A and B are shown apart, each in its own frame.
Chain A
Protein backbone atom coordinates (compact mmCIF):
# COMPACT_ATOMS: atom_id res chain seq x y z
CA UNK A 1 0.00 0.00 0.00
CA UNK A 2 1.27 3.37 -0.91
CA UNK A 3 0.83 7.02 -1.57
CA UNK A 4 0.95 8.13 -5.17
CA UNK A 5 1.78 11.55 -6.41
CA UNK A 6 1.83 13.06 -9.86
CA UNK A 7 3.68 16.34 -10.19
CA UNK A 8 3.42 18.51 -13.29
CA UNK A 9 2.90 15.42 -15.43
CA UNK A 10 2.70 16.19 -19.14
CA UNK A 11 2.11 13.88 -22.11
CA UNK A 12 2.88 15.00 -25.60
CA UNK A 13 2.59 13.03 -28.84
CA UNK A 14 4.86 14.85 -31.24
CA UNK A 15 3.10 18.21 -31.59
CA UNK A 16 -0.09 17.39 -29.74
CA UNK A 17 -0.19 17.75 -25.98
CA UNK A 18 -2.83 15.43 -24.56
CA UNK A 19 -2.18 15.78 -20.83
CA UNK A 20 -1.38 19.17 -19.33
CA UNK A 21 0.44 19.61 -16.02
CA UNK A 22 -1.40 17.08 -13.90
CA UNK A 23 -0.83 17.53 -10.17
CA UNK A 24 -2.44 14.95 -7.94
CA UNK A 25 -1.66 13.62 -4.47
CA UNK A 26 -3.27 10.32 -3.58
CA UNK A 27 -3.17 9.20 0.03
CA UNK A 28 -2.50 5.68 1.27
CA UNK A 29 -5.66 3.49 1.12
CA UNK A 30 -7.50 6.12 -0.89
CA UNK A 31 -9.90 5.27 -3.73
CA UNK A 32 -9.55 7.94 -6.40
CA UNK A 33 -11.57 7.96 -9.61
CA UNK A 34 -10.46 9.81 -12.73
CA UNK A 35 -13.57 10.66 -14.71
CA UNK A 36 -14.20 12.57 -17.89
CA UNK A 37 -15.43 12.22 -21.46
CA UNK A 38 -13.57 10.17 -24.10
CA UNK A 39 -10.24 11.69 -25.03
CA UNK A 40 -9.90 13.74 -21.85
CA UNK A 41 -6.55 12.11 -21.02
CA UNK A 42 -7.69 9.99 -18.07
CA UNK A 43 -6.59 6.63 -19.52
CA UNK A 44 -3.32 8.13 -20.73
CA UNK A 45 -2.69 9.41 -17.21
CA UNK A 46 -3.38 5.94 -15.80
CA UNK A 47 -1.06 4.32 -18.33
CA UNK A 48 1.69 6.76 -17.46
CA UNK A 49 1.22 5.80 -13.84
CA UNK A 50 1.50 2.14 -14.81
CA UNK A 51 4.62 2.83 -16.87
CA UNK A 52 2.96 1.72 -20.11
CA UNK A 53 3.36 5.22 -21.55
CA UNK A 54 6.38 7.41 -21.04
CA UNK A 55 5.77 10.80 -19.50
CA UNK A 56 6.96 13.78 -21.53
CA UNK A 57 7.80 15.83 -18.45
CA UNK A 58 7.06 15.94 -14.74
CA UNK A 59 7.50 13.17 -12.19
CA UNK A 60 5.44 10.37 -10.70
CA UNK A 61 6.13 9.03 -7.19
CA UNK A 62 4.92 5.82 -5.65
CA UNK A 63 5.68 5.86 -1.92
CA UNK A 64 8.04 8.82 -2.39
CA UNK A 65 10.09 6.86 -4.90
CA UNK A 66 10.33 8.52 -8.32
CA UNK A 67 9.20 5.91 -10.85
CA UNK A 68 9.26 7.74 -14.18
CA UNK A 69 12.24 5.71 -15.34
CA UNK A 70 11.11 2.48 -13.66
CA UNK A 71 9.58 -0.01 -16.13
CA UNK A 72 6.08 -1.36 -15.39
CA UNK A 73 7.41 -4.75 -14.28
CA UNK A 74 9.31 -3.13 -11.42
CA UNK A 75 6.63 -0.72 -10.19
CA UNK A 76 4.72 -3.21 -8.02
CA UNK A 77 1.31 -2.21 -9.30
CA UNK A 78 -1.59 -4.25 -10.62
CA UNK A 79 -3.99 -3.22 -13.33
CA UNK A 80 -7.40 -4.35 -14.53
CA UNK A 81 -8.12 -3.60 -18.18
CA UNK A 82 -11.38 -2.83 -19.95
CA UNK A 83 -11.09 -5.95 -22.12
CA UNK A 84 -9.82 -7.96 -19.10
CA UNK A 85 -6.65 -9.03 -20.99
CA UNK A 86 -6.72 -12.55 -19.54
CA UNK A 87 -4.12 -14.88 -21.01
CA UNK A 88 -6.24 -17.14 -23.23
CA UNK A 89 -3.80 -20.06 -23.13
CA UNK A 90 -3.79 -20.31 -19.34
CA UNK A 91 -6.41 -21.53 -16.89
CA UNK A 92 -7.94 -19.13 -14.43
CA UNK A 93 -5.57 -20.34 -11.70
CA UNK A 94 -2.56 -19.92 -14.01
CA UNK A 95 -3.77 -16.46 -15.02
CA UNK A 96 -3.99 -15.42 -11.42
CA UNK A 97 -0.68 -17.00 -10.44
CA UNK A 98 1.33 -15.79 -13.45
CA UNK A 99 2.69 -12.70 -11.71
CA UNK A 100 3.78 -14.71 -8.68
CA UNK A 101 5.36 -17.37 -10.89
CA UNK A 102 7.43 -14.70 -12.64
CA UNK A 103 8.62 -13.59 -9.21
CA UNK A 104 9.64 -17.18 -8.38
CA UNK A 105 7.22 -17.48 -5.47
CA UNK A 106 7.12 -21.14 -4.29
CA UNK A 107 4.37 -23.21 -5.91
CA UNK A 108 2.58 -24.01 -2.65
CA UNK A 109 2.39 -20.34 -1.77
CA UNK A 110 1.07 -19.44 -5.23
CA UNK A 111 -1.65 -22.05 -4.81
CA UNK A 112 -2.59 -20.74 -1.39
CA UNK A 113 -2.73 -17.12 -2.50
CA UNK A 114 -4.72 -17.93 -5.65
CA UNK A 115 -7.15 -19.94 -3.55
CA UNK A 116 -7.49 -17.09 -1.05
CA UNK A 117 -8.17 -14.51 -3.77
CA UNK A 118 -10.59 -16.86 -5.52
CA UNK A 119 -12.47 -17.29 -2.23
CA UNK A 120 -12.78 -13.53 -1.80
CA UNK A 121 -14.15 -13.14 -5.34
CA UNK A 122 -16.29 -16.30 -5.33
CA UNK A 123 -14.57 -17.90 -8.31
CA UNK A 124 -13.09 -21.01 -6.67
CA UNK A 125 -15.16 -23.27 -8.93
CA UNK A 126 -13.71 -21.62 -12.06
CA UNK A 127 -10.01 -22.11 -11.31
CA UNK A 128 -9.49 -24.90 -13.86
CA UNK A 129 -11.35 -23.20 -16.70
CA UNK A 130 -9.92 -21.23 -19.58
CA UNK A 131 -10.99 -17.60 -20.07
CA UNK A 132 -13.01 -18.41 -23.18
CA UNK A 133 -15.29 -20.64 -21.09
CA UNK A 134 -16.18 -17.73 -18.79
CA UNK A 135 -18.93 -15.13 -18.97
CA UNK A 136 -18.11 -11.41 -19.03
CA UNK A 137 -18.73 -11.00 -15.32
CA UNK A 138 -16.61 -14.04 -14.47
CA UNK A 139 -13.75 -12.74 -16.63
CA UNK A 140 -13.99 -9.45 -14.80
CA UNK A 141 -13.66 -11.25 -11.48
CA UNK A 142 -10.65 -13.22 -12.69
CA UNK A 143 -8.99 -10.02 -13.88
CA UNK A 144 -9.55 -8.58 -10.43
CA UNK A 145 -8.29 -11.78 -8.87
CA UNK A 146 -5.10 -11.55 -10.88
CA UNK A 147 -4.55 -8.08 -9.43
CA UNK A 148 -5.52 -9.12 -5.92
CA UNK A 149 -3.20 -12.14 -5.71
CA UNK A 150 -0.14 -10.01 -6.18
CA UNK A 151 -0.89 -7.81 -3.16
CA UNK A 152 0.57 -4.79 -4.98
CA UNK A 153 1.14 -1.28 -3.70
CA UNK A 154 -1.47 0.22 -6.03
CA UNK A 155 -4.48 -1.05 -7.97
CA UNK A 156 -5.20 0.57 -11.30
CA UNK A 157 -8.56 0.05 -13.02
CA UNK A 158 -9.04 1.18 -16.62
CA UNK A 159 -12.78 1.33 -17.33
CA UNK A 160 -13.19 -2.21 -15.97
CA UNK A 161 -16.98 -2.30 -16.18
CA UNK A 162 -17.52 -0.82 -19.65
CA UNK A 163 -17.88 -4.20 -21.35
CA UNK A 164 -20.55 -5.49 -18.99
CA UNK A 165 -24.31 -5.15 -19.38
CA UNK A 166 -26.06 -2.54 -17.24
CA UNK A 167 -27.27 -4.85 -14.49
CA UNK A 168 -23.96 -6.66 -14.07
CA UNK A 169 -22.15 -3.34 -14.08
CA UNK A 170 -24.08 -2.16 -11.03
CA UNK A 171 -23.43 -5.47 -9.28
CA UNK A 172 -19.69 -5.46 -10.04
CA UNK A 173 -19.47 -1.84 -8.98
CA UNK A 174 -20.66 -2.82 -5.52
CA UNK A 175 -18.21 -5.70 -5.46
CA UNK A 176 -15.30 -3.44 -6.33
CA UNK A 177 -16.31 -1.14 -3.49
CA UNK A 178 -16.60 -4.08 -1.09
CA UNK A 179 -13.23 -5.37 -2.24
CA UNK A 180 -11.61 -2.03 -1.54
CA UNK A 181 -13.20 -1.85 1.89
CA UNK A 182 -11.74 -5.27 2.58
CA UNK A 183 -8.20 -5.02 1.21
CA UNK A 184 -7.82 -1.24 1.47
CA UNK A 185 -5.16 -0.98 -1.22
CA UNK A 186 -4.64 2.46 -2.76
CA UNK A 187 -6.79 2.41 -5.89
CA UNK A 188 -6.91 4.61 -8.97
CA UNK A 189 -9.90 3.98 -11.16
CA UNK A 190 -10.66 5.42 -14.59
CA UNK A 191 -14.17 5.67 -16.00
CA UNK A 192 -16.26 7.88 -18.25
CA UNK A 193 -19.37 7.07 -16.21
CA UNK A 194 -19.98 9.76 -13.62
CA UNK A 195 -22.34 7.50 -11.66
CA UNK A 196 -19.54 4.96 -11.27
CA UNK A 197 -17.21 7.75 -10.21
CA UNK A 198 -19.61 9.17 -7.64
CA UNK A 199 -20.52 5.82 -6.11
CA UNK A 200 -17.00 4.40 -5.83
CA UNK A 201 -14.69 7.26 -5.06
CA UNK A 202 -13.34 8.75 -1.88
CA UNK A 203 -12.30 11.58 -4.16
CA UNK A 204 -13.22 12.21 -7.78
CA UNK A 205 -10.87 13.85 -10.26
CA UNK A 206 -12.84 15.36 -13.13
CA UNK A 207 -10.74 15.73 -16.27
CA UNK A 208 -11.49 17.57 -19.47
CA UNK A 209 -9.27 18.27 -22.46
CA UNK A 210 -6.19 16.86 -20.73
CA UNK A 211 -6.59 19.08 -17.68
CA UNK A 212 -7.97 18.53 -14.19
CA UNK A 213 -11.18 20.53 -13.82
CA UNK A 214 -11.81 19.77 -10.18
CA UNK A 215 -10.78 17.36 -7.44
CA UNK A 216 -13.04 16.60 -4.53
CA UNK A 217 -15.29 14.17 -2.71
CA UNK A 218 -18.43 13.23 -4.69
CA UNK A 219 -20.78 15.38 -2.60
CA UNK A 220 -18.57 18.41 -3.04
CA UNK A 221 -18.52 18.01 -6.82
CA UNK A 222 -22.26 17.66 -6.82
CA UNK A 223 -23.08 20.60 -4.58
CA UNK A 224 -20.21 22.95 -5.33
CA UNK A 225 -18.94 22.46 -8.87
CA UNK A 226 -16.25 24.93 -9.79
CA UNK A 227 -16.87 25.09 -13.52
CA UNK A 228 -19.56 24.78 -16.14
CA UNK A 229 -18.04 21.48 -17.24
CA UNK A 230 -18.12 19.87 -13.79
CA UNK A 231 -21.61 21.25 -13.12
CA UNK A 232 -22.84 19.66 -16.35
CA UNK A 233 -20.89 16.43 -16.07
CA UNK A 234 -21.74 15.42 -12.52
CA UNK A 235 -25.30 14.34 -11.82
CA UNK A 236 -27.83 12.45 -13.86
CA UNK A 237 -29.81 13.86 -15.56
CA UNK A 238 -27.42 16.76 -15.98
CA UNK A 239 -27.83 20.27 -14.62
CA UNK A 240 -30.07 22.67 -16.56
CA UNK A 241 -28.32 25.70 -18.00
CA UNK A 242 -30.28 28.78 -19.05
CA UNK A 243 -28.92 32.16 -20.19
CA UNK A 244 -30.09 34.83 -17.74
CA UNK A 245 -29.42 38.49 -17.00
CA UNK A 246 -28.65 39.55 -13.42
CA UNK A 247 -30.81 42.50 -12.41
CA UNK A 248 -31.19 44.54 -9.25
CA UNK A 249 -34.27 46.20 -7.87
CA UNK A 250 -34.83 47.52 -4.36
CA UNK A 251 -31.63 45.96 -3.07
CA UNK A 252 -32.63 42.45 -4.23
CA UNK A 253 -31.18 40.52 -7.16
CA UNK A 254 -33.21 38.80 -9.85
CA UNK A 255 -32.43 36.58 -12.80
CA UNK A 256 -34.27 37.73 -15.87
CA UNK A 257 -34.83 35.03 -18.49
CA UNK A 258 -36.37 36.24 -21.74
CA UNK A 259 -39.15 38.81 -21.39
CA UNK A 260 -41.53 37.12 -19.01
CA UNK A 261 -39.56 35.06 -16.52
CA UNK A 262 -37.96 36.64 -13.42
CA UNK A 263 -36.50 34.58 -10.61
CA UNK A 264 -35.55 36.01 -7.21
CA UNK A 265 -32.02 35.32 -6.01
CA UNK A 266 -31.78 34.39 -2.29
CA UNK A 267 -30.59 37.27 -0.13
CA UNK A 268 -27.63 35.29 1.13
CA UNK A 269 -26.15 35.39 -2.36
CA UNK A 270 -26.57 39.11 -2.99
CA UNK A 271 -22.98 39.95 -2.18
CA UNK A 272 -21.61 37.10 -4.26
CA UNK A 273 -23.58 37.91 -7.38
CA UNK A 274 -23.64 41.72 -6.95
CA UNK A 275 -20.64 42.38 -9.22
CA UNK A 276 -22.45 40.72 -12.12
CA UNK A 277 -25.52 42.97 -12.19
CA UNK A 278 -26.39 43.89 -15.76
CA UNK A 279 -24.48 41.00 -17.30
CA UNK A 280 -25.67 37.95 -19.23
CA UNK A 281 -24.73 34.89 -17.16
CA UNK A 282 -25.58 31.19 -17.27
CA UNK A 283 -28.09 30.11 -14.64
CA UNK A 284 -27.62 26.48 -13.55
CA UNK A 285 -30.08 24.39 -11.57
CA UNK A 286 -30.34 20.62 -11.14
CA UNK A 287 -33.54 18.82 -12.21
CA UNK A 288 -34.00 17.57 -8.65
CA UNK A 289 -34.15 21.15 -7.39
CA UNK A 290 -37.19 21.96 -9.50
CA UNK A 291 -40.43 20.63 -8.05
CA UNK A 292 -44.17 21.17 -8.03
CA UNK A 293 -45.34 23.72 -5.46
CA UNK A 294 -46.75 22.26 -2.26
CA UNK A 295 -48.15 24.16 0.72
CA UNK A 296 -46.90 27.58 1.73
CA UNK A 297 -44.28 29.29 -0.43
CA UNK A 298 -40.87 28.94 1.25
CA UNK A 299 -37.94 31.31 1.12
CA UNK A 300 -35.68 30.85 -1.87
CA UNK A 301 -38.37 29.08 -3.89
CA UNK A 302 -39.01 30.86 -7.22
CA UNK A 303 -42.28 30.07 -9.03
CA UNK A 304 -42.28 29.19 -12.73
CA UNK A 305 -44.97 28.26 -15.19
CA UNK A 306 -43.65 26.39 -18.22
CA UNK A 307 -45.10 24.47 -21.16
CA UNK A 308 -44.36 20.73 -21.03
CA UNK A 309 -42.67 19.08 -24.04
CA UNK A 310 -42.00 15.51 -22.94
CA UNK A 311 -42.88 13.41 -19.87
CA UNK A 312 -40.57 10.51 -18.96
CA UNK A 313 -41.83 8.31 -16.12
CA UNK A 314 -38.83 6.54 -14.52
CA UNK A 315 -40.70 4.72 -11.78
CA UNK A 316 -39.29 6.31 -8.65
CA UNK A 317 -39.53 9.74 -10.26
CA UNK A 318 -40.81 11.36 -13.44
CA UNK A 319 -38.65 13.58 -15.64
CA UNK A 320 -40.56 16.42 -17.23
CA UNK A 321 -38.94 18.34 -20.10
CA UNK A 322 -40.21 21.92 -20.22
CA UNK A 323 -39.48 24.89 -22.41
CA UNK A 324 -38.02 27.94 -20.71
CA UNK A 325 -37.61 30.72 -23.26
CA UNK A 326 -36.40 28.36 -25.95
CA UNK A 327 -34.15 26.29 -23.65
CA UNK A 328 -35.13 22.80 -22.51
CA UNK A 329 -35.29 22.51 -18.75
CA UNK A 330 -35.71 19.13 -17.08
CA UNK A 331 -37.55 18.84 -13.79
CA UNK A 332 -37.40 15.75 -11.63
CA UNK A 333 -40.90 15.40 -10.19
CA UNK A 334 -42.86 13.01 -8.01
CA UNK A 335 -44.28 10.06 -9.97
CA UNK A 336 -47.75 11.27 -9.07
CA UNK A 337 -47.35 14.42 -11.21
CA UNK A 338 -50.19 15.30 -13.52
CA UNK A 339 -47.86 16.86 -16.12
CA UNK A 340 -48.79 16.10 -19.70
CA UNK A 341 -47.24 17.24 -22.98
CA UNK A 342 -48.54 20.48 -24.46
CA UNK A 343 -50.00 21.75 -21.19
CA UNK A 344 -48.33 24.29 -18.94
CA UNK A 345 -47.17 23.18 -15.49
CA UNK A 346 -46.58 25.17 -12.31
CA UNK A 347 -43.16 24.60 -10.79
CA UNK A 348 -40.85 26.07 -8.17
CA UNK A 349 -37.09 26.32 -8.50
CA UNK A 350 -35.14 25.97 -5.25
CA UNK A 351 -32.84 28.94 -5.73
CA UNK A 352 -30.86 28.00 -2.59
CA UNK A 353 -29.26 25.38 -4.83
CA UNK A 354 -28.79 27.56 -7.90
CA UNK A 355 -25.45 28.12 -9.61
CA UNK A 356 -24.33 31.13 -11.59
CA UNK A 357 -21.70 30.66 -14.25
CA UNK A 358 -19.71 33.37 -15.95
CA UNK A 359 -19.89 32.52 -19.68
CA UNK A 360 -16.55 34.26 -20.32
CA UNK A 361 -14.54 32.07 -17.95
CA UNK A 362 -16.94 29.07 -17.74
CA UNK A 363 -16.36 29.22 -13.98
CA UNK A 364 -19.03 29.07 -11.30
CA UNK A 365 -19.14 32.32 -9.33
Chain B
Protein backbone atom coordinates (compact mmCIF):
# COMPACT_ATOMS: atom_id res chain seq x y z
CA UNK B 1 0.00 0.00 0.00
CA UNK B 2 2.83 2.33 0.91
CA UNK B 3 4.41 1.71 -2.50
CA UNK B 4 1.21 2.75 -4.23
CA UNK B 5 1.30 6.13 -2.52
CA UNK B 6 4.95 6.55 -3.44
CA UNK B 7 4.01 5.94 -7.06
CA UNK B 8 1.04 8.29 -6.92
CA UNK B 9 3.34 10.97 -5.54
CA UNK B 10 5.97 10.39 -8.20
CA UNK B 11 3.40 10.37 -11.01
CA UNK B 12 1.93 13.64 -9.77
CA UNK B 13 5.37 15.18 -9.59
CA UNK B 14 6.29 13.95 -13.08
CA UNK B 15 3.06 15.36 -14.45
CA UNK B 16 3.79 18.68 -12.78
CA UNK B 17 7.10 18.86 -14.64
CA UNK B 18 6.14 17.20 -17.92
CA UNK B 19 2.64 18.51 -18.62
CA UNK B 20 3.65 22.06 -19.63
CA UNK B 21 6.30 20.61 -21.96
CA UNK B 22 3.89 18.10 -23.44
CA UNK B 23 1.32 20.87 -23.86
CA UNK B 24 3.83 23.00 -25.75
CA UNK B 25 4.62 20.09 -28.05
CA UNK B 26 0.88 19.50 -28.53
CA UNK B 27 0.24 23.20 -29.28
CA UNK B 28 3.07 23.33 -31.83
CA UNK B 29 1.21 20.73 -33.93
CA UNK B 30 -2.30 22.23 -33.54
CA UNK B 31 -3.70 24.78 -36.06
CA UNK B 32 -3.28 28.39 -34.90
CA UNK B 33 -7.01 29.00 -34.56
CA UNK B 34 -7.43 26.13 -32.13
CA UNK B 35 -4.33 26.80 -29.99
CA UNK B 36 -6.36 27.66 -26.92
CA UNK B 37 -8.88 24.88 -27.37
CA UNK B 38 -9.20 22.68 -24.31
CA UNK B 39 -9.49 19.49 -26.29
CA UNK B 40 -6.44 17.27 -26.39
CA UNK B 41 -5.67 17.21 -30.11
CA UNK B 42 -8.15 19.30 -32.13
CA UNK B 43 -6.34 18.69 -35.42
CA UNK B 44 -2.80 18.23 -36.68
CA UNK B 45 -0.69 20.58 -38.81
CA UNK B 46 2.95 21.41 -39.58
CA UNK B 47 1.95 24.95 -40.65
CA UNK B 48 3.30 26.50 -37.44
CA UNK B 49 6.76 25.18 -38.16
CA UNK B 50 6.55 26.13 -41.83
CA UNK B 51 5.44 29.66 -40.98
CA UNK B 52 8.19 30.08 -38.44
CA UNK B 53 10.90 28.84 -40.75
CA UNK B 54 9.65 30.60 -43.93
CA UNK B 55 8.19 33.92 -42.83
CA UNK B 56 10.24 34.59 -39.76
CA UNK B 57 13.58 33.08 -40.88
CA UNK B 58 13.78 31.04 -37.69
CA UNK B 59 16.24 28.74 -39.44
CA UNK B 60 18.75 31.59 -39.55
CA UNK B 61 18.34 32.15 -35.81
CA UNK B 62 18.98 28.47 -35.18
CA UNK B 63 22.10 28.58 -37.33
CA UNK B 64 23.36 31.75 -35.60
CA UNK B 65 22.75 30.23 -32.16
CA UNK B 66 24.63 27.13 -33.22
CA UNK B 67 27.62 29.16 -34.50
CA UNK B 68 27.72 31.45 -31.48
CA UNK B 69 27.36 28.66 -28.91
CA UNK B 70 29.87 26.36 -30.60
CA UNK B 71 32.32 29.20 -31.24
CA UNK B 72 32.10 30.54 -27.69
CA UNK B 73 32.67 27.07 -26.25
CA UNK B 74 35.62 26.35 -28.53
CA UNK B 75 37.22 29.69 -27.62
CA UNK B 76 36.66 29.27 -23.88
CA UNK B 77 37.61 25.62 -23.53
CA UNK B 78 41.40 25.81 -24.11
CA UNK B 79 41.71 28.82 -21.81
CA UNK B 80 39.56 27.14 -19.18
CA UNK B 81 41.65 23.97 -19.44
CA UNK B 82 44.91 25.85 -19.00
CA UNK B 83 43.55 27.95 -16.12
CA UNK B 84 41.85 25.02 -14.43
CA UNK B 85 45.04 22.99 -14.66
CA UNK B 86 47.11 25.79 -13.16
CA UNK B 87 44.65 26.09 -10.27
CA UNK B 88 44.46 22.35 -9.74
CA UNK B 89 48.10 21.34 -10.06
CA UNK B 90 50.15 24.38 -9.16
CA UNK B 91 47.61 26.00 -6.82
CA UNK B 92 48.20 29.25 -8.69
CA UNK B 93 46.56 32.15 -6.90
CA UNK B 94 45.79 29.99 -3.86
CA UNK B 95 42.36 29.98 -2.30
CA UNK B 96 41.81 33.64 -3.16
CA UNK B 97 42.26 32.89 -6.86
CA UNK B 98 39.71 30.10 -6.66
CA UNK B 99 37.29 32.33 -4.80
CA UNK B 100 37.64 35.07 -7.40
CA UNK B 101 36.77 32.60 -10.15
CA UNK B 102 33.66 31.64 -8.26
CA UNK B 103 32.88 35.26 -7.36
CA UNK B 104 32.42 36.18 -11.01
CA UNK B 105 29.43 33.84 -11.02
CA UNK B 106 27.81 35.77 -8.19
CA UNK B 107 27.28 38.91 -10.28
CA UNK B 108 23.82 39.12 -11.84
CA UNK B 109 24.05 39.28 -15.64
CA UNK B 110 22.12 42.53 -15.73
CA UNK B 111 24.97 44.30 -13.91
CA UNK B 112 27.37 43.35 -16.67
CA UNK B 113 25.12 44.00 -19.66
CA UNK B 114 25.24 47.78 -19.77
CA UNK B 115 29.01 48.23 -19.40
CA UNK B 116 29.51 45.45 -21.93
CA UNK B 117 27.13 47.19 -24.33
CA UNK B 118 29.00 50.48 -23.96
CA UNK B 119 32.37 48.87 -24.57
CA UNK B 120 31.15 46.77 -27.50
CA UNK B 121 29.43 49.74 -29.13
CA UNK B 122 32.64 51.74 -29.11
CA UNK B 123 34.47 48.70 -30.53
CA UNK B 124 31.83 48.28 -33.22
CA UNK B 125 31.01 44.78 -31.98
CA UNK B 126 27.29 45.25 -31.34
CA UNK B 127 24.85 43.66 -33.74
CA UNK B 128 27.48 41.04 -34.54
CA UNK B 129 27.49 37.34 -33.74
CA UNK B 130 31.27 37.50 -33.38
CA UNK B 131 30.86 40.05 -30.57
CA UNK B 132 28.30 37.83 -28.89
CA UNK B 133 30.63 34.85 -29.23
CA UNK B 134 33.37 36.75 -27.36
CA UNK B 135 30.94 37.72 -24.59
CA UNK B 136 29.72 34.14 -24.16
CA UNK B 137 33.28 32.82 -24.12
CA UNK B 138 34.12 35.30 -21.36
CA UNK B 139 30.95 34.52 -19.41
CA UNK B 140 31.57 30.77 -19.65
CA UNK B 141 35.26 30.89 -18.83
CA UNK B 142 34.98 30.92 -15.00
CA UNK B 143 32.35 28.21 -14.94
CA UNK B 144 34.31 25.94 -17.30
CA UNK B 145 37.50 26.64 -15.35
CA UNK B 146 35.76 25.56 -12.17
CA UNK B 147 34.48 22.33 -13.68
CA UNK B 148 37.80 21.43 -15.29
CA UNK B 149 39.70 22.26 -12.12
CA UNK B 150 37.68 19.60 -10.32
CA UNK B 151 38.39 17.18 -13.12
CA UNK B 152 42.14 17.81 -13.14
CA UNK B 153 42.29 17.46 -9.37
CA UNK B 154 40.96 13.95 -9.80
CA UNK B 155 43.86 12.98 -12.04
CA UNK B 156 46.72 11.53 -10.00
CA UNK B 157 49.84 13.64 -10.24
CA UNK B 158 51.83 10.42 -10.64
CA UNK B 159 50.55 10.21 -14.23
CA UNK B 160 52.37 13.43 -15.07
CA UNK B 161 55.37 12.37 -13.07
CA UNK B 162 55.48 9.09 -14.95
CA UNK B 163 55.37 10.99 -18.24
CA UNK B 164 58.12 13.35 -17.14
CA UNK B 165 60.33 10.47 -16.07
CA UNK B 166 59.56 8.84 -19.42
CA UNK B 167 61.10 11.91 -21.02
CA UNK B 168 58.23 14.37 -21.44
CA UNK B 169 58.62 18.01 -20.45
CA UNK B 170 55.65 19.51 -18.55
CA UNK B 171 54.01 20.75 -21.75
CA UNK B 172 54.31 17.37 -23.48
CA UNK B 173 53.03 15.65 -20.33
CA UNK B 174 50.03 18.00 -20.27
CA UNK B 175 49.29 17.61 -23.97
CA UNK B 176 49.95 13.88 -24.43
CA UNK B 177 48.80 12.54 -21.06
CA UNK B 178 46.66 14.98 -19.07
CA UNK B 179 44.49 16.17 -21.98
CA UNK B 180 43.69 12.71 -23.40
CA UNK B 181 42.89 11.45 -19.90
CA UNK B 182 40.66 14.49 -19.34
CA UNK B 183 38.62 14.11 -22.52
CA UNK B 184 35.44 13.14 -20.65
CA UNK B 185 35.88 16.23 -18.46
CA UNK B 186 36.52 18.46 -21.47
CA UNK B 187 33.46 17.00 -23.19
CA UNK B 188 31.20 17.59 -20.22
CA UNK B 189 32.52 21.11 -19.70
CA UNK B 190 32.06 21.82 -23.41
CA UNK B 191 28.49 20.54 -23.41
CA UNK B 192 27.53 22.55 -20.34
CA UNK B 193 29.14 25.67 -21.85
CA UNK B 194 27.24 25.08 -25.10
CA UNK B 195 23.91 24.75 -23.28
CA UNK B 196 24.52 27.92 -21.28
CA UNK B 197 25.35 29.87 -24.43
CA UNK B 198 22.41 28.38 -26.33
CA UNK B 199 19.92 29.48 -23.68
CA UNK B 200 21.42 32.88 -22.87
CA UNK B 201 18.94 35.71 -23.39
CA UNK B 202 19.79 39.05 -21.82
CA UNK B 203 23.15 39.69 -23.52
CA UNK B 204 21.78 38.47 -26.82
CA UNK B 205 18.82 40.83 -26.49
CA UNK B 206 21.02 43.87 -25.84
CA UNK B 207 23.91 43.07 -28.18
CA UNK B 208 22.10 41.77 -31.27
CA UNK B 209 19.68 43.25 -33.78
CA UNK B 210 17.00 41.66 -35.99
CA UNK B 211 19.63 40.40 -38.44
CA UNK B 212 21.80 38.82 -35.75
CA UNK B 213 19.19 37.59 -33.25
CA UNK B 214 19.75 34.19 -31.63
CA UNK B 215 17.01 31.68 -30.84
CA UNK B 216 15.96 33.04 -27.41
CA UNK B 217 15.71 36.59 -28.86
CA UNK B 218 13.76 35.43 -31.89
CA UNK B 219 11.36 33.55 -29.63
CA UNK B 220 10.81 36.66 -27.53
CA UNK B 221 10.13 38.62 -30.71
CA UNK B 222 7.08 36.45 -31.35
CA UNK B 223 5.35 38.47 -28.68
CA UNK B 224 3.87 41.29 -30.79
CA UNK B 225 1.42 44.18 -30.43
CA UNK B 226 -1.27 41.77 -31.57
CA UNK B 227 -0.55 39.49 -28.64
CA UNK B 228 1.37 36.28 -28.37
CA UNK B 229 1.05 33.87 -31.31
CA UNK B 230 1.15 30.85 -29.02
CA UNK B 231 1.29 28.30 -31.85
CA UNK B 232 4.39 29.94 -33.35
CA UNK B 233 6.01 30.26 -29.95
CA UNK B 234 5.34 26.59 -29.22
CA UNK B 235 6.84 25.53 -32.54
CA UNK B 236 9.86 27.77 -31.84
CA UNK B 237 10.36 26.29 -28.38
CA UNK B 238 10.19 22.79 -29.82
CA UNK B 239 12.81 23.66 -32.45
CA UNK B 240 15.02 25.35 -29.86
CA UNK B 241 14.91 22.39 -27.52
CA UNK B 242 15.65 19.70 -30.11
CA UNK B 243 19.45 20.25 -30.17
CA UNK B 244 19.57 20.23 -26.38
CA UNK B 245 17.42 17.12 -26.23
CA UNK B 246 19.80 15.36 -28.60
CA UNK B 247 22.78 16.44 -26.51
CA UNK B 248 21.07 15.35 -23.32
CA UNK B 249 20.26 11.95 -24.81
CA UNK B 250 23.76 11.15 -26.04
CA UNK B 251 25.96 13.09 -23.65
CA UNK B 252 24.14 12.61 -20.39
CA UNK B 253 26.98 10.49 -19.04
CA UNK B 254 29.48 13.29 -19.59
CA UNK B 255 27.21 16.00 -18.19
CA UNK B 256 26.57 14.07 -15.00
CA UNK B 257 30.26 13.30 -14.55
CA UNK B 258 31.05 16.99 -15.13
CA UNK B 259 28.59 18.14 -12.53
CA UNK B 260 29.66 15.64 -9.90
CA UNK B 261 33.39 15.62 -10.48
CA UNK B 262 35.33 16.69 -7.46
CA UNK B 263 32.27 16.16 -5.33
CA UNK B 264 32.88 12.44 -4.92
CA UNK B 265 36.51 11.63 -5.19
Contact = CB atoms under 8 A, between A and B. Distances in A.
Interface string B139-168: 000000000000000001011011111111
Nearest to B180: A89
Interface in A55-84: 71-73, 75, 77-79, 81-83
Contacts, number: 59
B159 A71 contact: no
Contacts of B183: 89
Interface residues of B, number: 17
Interface of A: 50-52, 71-73, 75, 77-79, 81-83, 85-89, 98-99, 102-103, 146, 150
B166 A98 contact: yes
Interface string B194-230: 0000000000000000000000000000000000000
A57 B163 CA distance: 26
Contacts of B156: 83, 85
Contacts of A87: 159, 162-163, 177, 180-181
A79 B158 CA distance: 10
B169 interface: yes
7 contacts: A71-B169, A72-B164, A73-B166, A73-B169, A79-B165, A88-B181, A99-B166
B172 interface: yes
Which 8 residue pairs of A and B lie closest in terms of their CB atoms, listed nearest first? A99-B166, A85-B158, A85-B162, A102-B167, A89-B180, A72-B164, A81-B158, A79-B165
B165 A78 contact: yes
B168 A73 contact: yes
A146 B166 contact: yes
Contact of B158 (A72, A83, A88, A102): A83
A77 B165 contact: yes
B64 to A, nearest CB: 36
**A82, A85, A103, most chain B CB atoms within 10 A:** A85
A73 B180 contact: no
**B162, B177, B181, most chain A CB atoms within 10 A:** B162
B167 A73 contact: yes
B164 A73 contact: yes
Contacts of B158: 81-83, 85
Nearest to A104: B167
A262 B66 CA distance: 91
Contacts of A51: 164
